[in-house]
Structure 1
Amino acid sequence: MQENKWRSARYGMDAIIILDAYGNEELVTDAVARLLTELEPVAEGLGCSEDLDGVRTILRKGASYQRQRAVARRAGGELDAVVASLVAEMRAGRPL
């Protein structure tokens, strides 16, 4: 678990995590997508499917740091564009 935590902190959504004691590995986004499918029936039973949908949105649109970097790249490194994007997301209450 500590190694996976380090890998996730270091590589973010591009982390390759360890799945088991045999050393099998998987891209974190693939592992999360698989887990979301497995957890869907449980989430439905608990009435929290919307929470899983929020994680799906992150997988689809990228984590905040990824979206911020994309905005900065498109804006030629201008951080004002990143701030404007963050404000727009906060006002919308969801990733844009």
Structure 2
Amino acid sequence: MTFPELQQFFSQYSDIPPEEWTDFSTFVRTQFISRDESFISLGDTNGHIGFVVKGLFRVCYIDSDGGRFIRNFCAEGTLISAYTEALQEKPAEIEIQAIEH
């Protein structure tokens, strides 16, 4: 697969030679997330990074009483992840959930 939307996203920042893009794309897979399904759940340790091709996601903090506080939204053409936790190899302190498919 060529993942044209992702390739276009990265080309805004740097020219990626075709052979390097081919190598990189072997690590990329397509995943469909349904509305109300989580890409990252509170406590996840998977370190996944996603790219929104279609839809809208909300990023929430969840307090100890179960209250949700929206931090931001991620629209088409953006990367999504619990970046800080992934870099520090800690459980996710946020939830990333699809709200539009």
Q: TM-score, normalised by structure 1?
A: 0.23
Which is greater in Rg? 1
Higher strand share: 2
Bigger relative CO (Cα 8 Å, ≥ 6 apart) = 2
Higher helix share: 1
Q: TM-score, normalised by structure 2?
A: 0.22
